[in-house]
Structure 1
Amino acid sequence: MVDAPEPVSLREGEWLERNRARWDEVVPLHVASPMYDHTALRDGRGRLSTPAEEAELADYAPDGWSGLRVLHLQCHFGGDTLVLAQRGAEVVGLDFSWPAIEQARAEAAELGLTGRARFVHANLYDARHALPDPEGFDIVYTTWGTITWLPDVAEWARIIAWFLKPGGRLYFADSHPAAWSLDDPESGEGLPQLRYPYFSDGRPEVLDEQGDYADGDAVLENTVTWEWAHPTSEVLTALLDAGLRLDFFHEHDRTPWRMFQALVEVEPGLWGWPAQRWMPLGFSLGATRTAS
């Protein structure tokens, strides 16, 4: 029998402080990184992270984004938030990193989007208190590098359902849980190898890693993070239990960053396997809050 993990508070504790310190520190690195280049956004032609997102989200706004109310959870410094605002949506971005929120607000002002893009500083689990919104949102959007930082996806799903109006829709994309069971070999060469359990039973991996996915040469002070593996079944069950209906679930063989050293840039800004499509690297899903 596997012992149950020690419970963690969703609103305080070492996990939250460690992770927030890491994300606070990397904000200026990401602002300066080519991976987060906002040139197109500043030119009025911003795009989301992957073509798959663009294609799948087209169905969410068949008549255009104008007038749609969007909540972007774990928005980092607001690149995608501002893309959607630039297209006409009224968007609220929420993130737990104060430097990220400051940067997002500065970019919104620079782009003249403060009327359509608002940024709120809060831990995701405090979202209901930080942003009480009884009218609800048309869309909740959250993508890439999100739930691995969260200990409880059942509460995450309940928060999403709470913010969606009846008939409102979730769009979620992230790295695939199966891929997170792998890691680069110690030699740094060859395909990644099995290292982490797919079924973590709620236990965090407490990692101490130098560098950053957007800058491998970075020398960081905050190297310790707490991360959780959430199997696909856990994510889907959480959303269904929260009262959402699954509309689609797609798996993808590429991600918008170099997840493993063996990956190659298969098209600008997208990384995939060098030959055979070995296993999924990402997934995306859409879900609708039922009328009840």
Structure 2
Amino acid sequence: MTTEVDLANGDWLDDNRANWDERVPVHLASDFYDRAQLRAGGSVLDPIARAAIARLYPDGLEGVRVLHLQCHFGSDTLSLANLGATVVGLDFSRPAVEEARRMADELGVADRARFVEANVYDARHVLPEPESFDLVFTTWGTIGWLPDVAEWARIIAWYLKPGGRLYFADGHPAAFVFDDDEGSDGMPTFQYAYSKSEPDVLEESADYADGTAVIQHARTWEWMHPLDEVFGALRSAGIGVDEFAERYEVPWQIFEVTVPKGDGMFGWPAERWLPLSYEIVASRPAE
């Protein structure tokens, strides 16, 4: 399912980039993105990703080369560097990339942490390193900003070494059909179609990291990508899915009714109504 848009240019890209450029200082000033553990040499990875990395690399990340797509200002990228990896982070927001580079210098890991400013769809033009990475890492709020996951998957496959892995975690599309126009029982209500080719063009000035912030560049373009579309894109790109899991927590307050579950995670207050997130471990076949 591909919306007919210019992947490298267009209103969708300009609007989304302006929105995320403006979010950078808001996020840097927020408690949501507290980087104290990062500065102490630790990790700020969420519990889901943290457990996956520990499971996939029980001997640690020394010698592992990682490409982090849509890295924002690189807190997770630098967490992986603190864990021993050599990392490249890519993001389309210049302020985010500039902050990531500054932070890499502050942490003393700039020799193992490089940051590239680019739209994902331009990645191969600015980072021409095919089959260079042991792990492509991309998590939380990523593919919903992209019109074409088939091309996204091809880019991932292009960068992975034979035998290299993808780790992907994001909000579940079954949860994204709801919004906080609450019903009489306090639950979010059905607002969006699970499967459609056209984007939702939204005007939302609120920010998930700071409830008091008002974003001036409020227009965003967002796409719904059902599970079968994501799985099909990976399969068509020659990437085999090794693990798939649905989770009932996310590392932000996705709905007002969701409550803290500890370690920065939010979930349903009682019953596990439906999955809020999912994760995929996939790999390119070894030659």
| Cα deviation 1:205-249 (Å, max 9, x = unaligned) | 000011111112212210100000000000011001100111110
Q: Is the 8 A contact 1:92 1:119 kept in 2?
A: yes
- Cα 1:188–1:72 change in 2 (3 A) is farther
Distance of 1:142 and 1:171 partners within structure 2: 6
Match status 1:31 vs 2:7: no
* Alignment-mate amino acid for residue 109 of structure 2: L
1:165-244 superposed matches below 5 A: 165-185=161-181, 190-200=186-196, 202-244=197-239
- Cα drift, residue 44 of structure 1: 1.2
SS at match of 1:166: strand
Letter of the 1:277 counterpart: R
Pairwise CA distance, 1:188: 9.5
2:258 alignment counterpart: 263
Partner residue, 2:38: 41
Deviation at 1:191, TM superposition (A): 0.7
Is residue 57 from structure 1 mapped to residue 57 from structure 2 by the alignment? no
- CA–CA distance in 2 between the matches of 1:30 and 1:288? 32
Aligned residues: 287
Secondary structure in 2 aligned to 1:198?
A: coil
Q: Is the 8 A contact 2:247 2:278 kept in 1?
A: yes
Q: Which residue of the partner structure matches residue 84 of structure 2? A: 88
SS at match of 1:118: strand
Which deviations, in whole Å up to 9, do the C-alpha atoms of 1:75-97 show, x marking residues without a partner? 00000000011111100000000
What is the letter of the counterpart of residue 227 of structure 1? E
CA contact (8 A) 2:63 2:86 kept: yes
Residue 142 of structure 2 corresponds to residue 146 of structure 1? yes
Partner Cα separation in structure 2 for residue 187 and residue 229 of structure 1: 23
Q: Secondary structure at the match of 1:102?
A: helix
Q: CA deviation at 1:63?
A: 2.0
Deviation of 1:291 (Å): 2.7
| Structure 2 CA distance for partners of 1:219 and 1:187, relative to 1, 3 Å | farther
Q: Secondary structure at the match of 1:138?
A: strand
Q: In 2, are the aligned partners of 1:101 and 1:121 still within 8 Å (CA)?
A: yes
Q: Do the aligned partners of residues 135 and 33 (structure 1) sit closer, same or farther apart at CA in structure 2, a change above 3 Å counting?
A: same
Structure 1: 5+ residue stretches without partners: none
Letter in 2 for 1:10: L
Distance 1:131 1:40 in 2: 30
Structure-2 change in CA distance of 1:198 and 1:134 (3 Å): closer
Secondary structure at the counterpart of residue 191 of structure 1? coil
SS of equivalent residue, structure 1 residue 233:
helix
Residue of structure 1 equivalent to 2:280: 285
Structure 1 residues 7 and 83, CA gap change in structure 2 (3 angstroms): same
Compute the TM-score of the two structures, normalised by the length of structure 2: 0.97
Distance 1:135 1:246, change over 3 A: closer
Q: 1:61 to 1:215 in 2, by over 3 A?
A: same
1:258 counterpart SS class: coil
How far, CA to CA, are the matches of 2:11 and 2:98 in structure 1? Answer: 24
- Structure 2 unaligned blocks of 5 or more: none
Pairing 1:249–2:239 present? no
Q: Is the 8 A contact 2:182 2:189 kept in 1?
A: no
